[in-house]
Amino acid sequence: MNVFQLAVSNVISLRRRLIGLVLLVSLAAAFCLAAIGVADQAQNAADTGVKESTANRSITVERPVDRTDVSPLTEQAEQRLAALPGVVDVQHQAQVSFAFKDEAIDGVLLYATTHRKALTPPVTASVRKSLFPLRAGEMVLPARAQGDDLRTVLGKRITVDTTRFVSDGEGTGATSSVRVVGLYDPSWQLDGPDAAYTDDATVVNWAAAKAGVPEDSFLSTVGYNQLTILTASSGDVPAVLDSVQAMGFPASTLQQQLHALPTVLELIRLVGKVLLGVLGLLAFAGAITVTGALSRQRAREIGILKALGFRTRTVCVLLVFEMVLVGAAAALLGLVGGAVLSTVTAATLRGIPDLAPYLGGGLLLPSPATSSLLLAATVLVVAAGSLLPARRAARLAPTDAMKDW
């Protein structure tokens, strides 16, 4: 019987004495795997959903208010930005206020806004399947605005009040007619609260009238409120952002925000990292304690092995390999326990609406590479913890080892 077969035989015969260490390490590994698995699944869901989405490839360029040192976002500026390396599209936004009321609606102040493909609002009701691009004189309203229910005007032609420039600080009222062809979820506010998506020509017409400039020169003088730059990939965003800012345009990106997870899932990720450290300490301390205790209890057995000609190195390898087997058993039990625990945890968290989109079905364990690395580290830490007491026991002379130690 070689040393490895002897180690297996010893572990089997000593299983009752080793069960405490196995349970301790396996439970720690299970909690660690479950926490990291749930957090990784949530992050992967967020990354997969937005990694190459238009939102994650977009850069927003704003027109600052009361900043004469910043170039306006004119058609010329749009063309310059579109020519930058890595840019595949530039989508503009113009916005102008208007008011609306009827017999059922007391009165709301809304903002006619041009639609951008990169930021399409979540439509809840419409008169046709494909709303965008909007046709001339069409508008998509929020389902509710300023306490009023706007669903009653879906499909109707309405008259709205706009403003026409008279002189500095003075304007006069004007009216215009548009048809409401859709409604969107009012919680969508990426274009600001109470945005009413309208065809480009109508928005420019109203904005030019309010600014007191000819409609045909509005886009080359006053320009847009905002430009959205789309890059070829999410990896192009940093370089394009630097180029845009170097051109003197104030710009920002949503990329950092899209990597954020809900607080509960971030807490789970933190717990996983803490448990990872705890697992290492428990495995190391447990291996030292158990190996030392077993070595003292098995002094006569070690003495017999030395008397039979087993070298010190061989005895040390035997004792360490026994702990390797124990660590491997604990790691496998931890893997099973982690799978069960992560599944139960995920099922519980899916009951929270804000967390459900981040947690899919199946086993929520870390990736195979991460799981394998964690389990291998568990075995190595147990082996490392057993090394010192194993060497101490193996160095005993046969005559000393045969005594009560």
Mean pLDDT of 385-389: 80
Q: Is the pLDDT of residue 258 over 70?
A: no
In this predicted model, which residue has the larger pLDDT, 323 or 301? Answer: 323
Mean pLDDT of 320-334: 85
Q: How confident is the model at residue 319, as a pLDDT?
A: 80
Measured CA to CA, the distance from residue 38 to residue 347 in angstroms comes to 11
In this predicted model, which residue has the larger pLDDT, 42 or 70? Answer: 70
Mean pLDDT of 331-354: 77
Distances in whole angstroms, Cα of residue 400 to Cα of each of 235, 321, 358, 388: 67, 23, 62, 19
Q: How far is CA 156 from the centre of its chain?
A: 41
Q: Is the omega angle on the peptide bond into residue 193 within 30 degrees of 0, that is, cis?
A: no
Q: How confident is the model at residue 50, as a pLDDT?
A: 47
Q: pLDDT for 135-159, tens place per residue? A: 999 999 999 998 899 999 999 999 9
Q: How confident is the model at residue 194, as a pLDDT?
A: 92
> Considering the chain, what percentage of its residues have pLDDT values greater than 90?
33
- pTM of the full predicted structure? 0.53
Element (H, E) at 92: strand 87-93
Q: Is the pLDDT of residue 278 over 60?
A: yes
Measured CA to CA, the distance from residue 8 to residue 373 in angstroms comes to 24
Crossing angle of helices 368-394/15-50, nearest 10°? 150
Q: How confident is the model at residue 405, as a pLDDT?
A: 45
Distances in whole angstroms, Cα of residue 286 to Cα of each of 27, 81, 391: 13, 62, 17
Mean pLDDT of 325-350: 81
Pairing of strands 138-142, 170-184: parallel
The long-range contacts involving 317-320, CB below 8 angstroms and separated by at least 24 positions, are 317/3, 318/3, 318/6, 318/7, 318/10, 319/291, 319/294, 319/295, 319/386, 319/389, 319/390, 319/393, 319/394, 320/383, 320/386, 320/387, 320/390
Which of 68-77, 207-216, 246-255, 362-371: highest mean pLDDT?
207-216
Q: How confident is the model at residue 330, as a pLDDT?
A: 84
Cα dihedral sign, 145-149-151-152: negative
For the chain, the average pLDDT equals: 81
In this predicted model, which residue has the larger pLDDT, 225 or 36? Answer: 225
Is the CB of residue 203 less than 8 Å from the CB of residue 114? yes
Of 12-16, 162-166, 279-283, 375-379, the poorest mean pLDDT is in: 279-283
Mean pLDDT of 79-92: 94
Q: pLDDT for 158-171, tens place per residue? A: 999 999 999 888 88
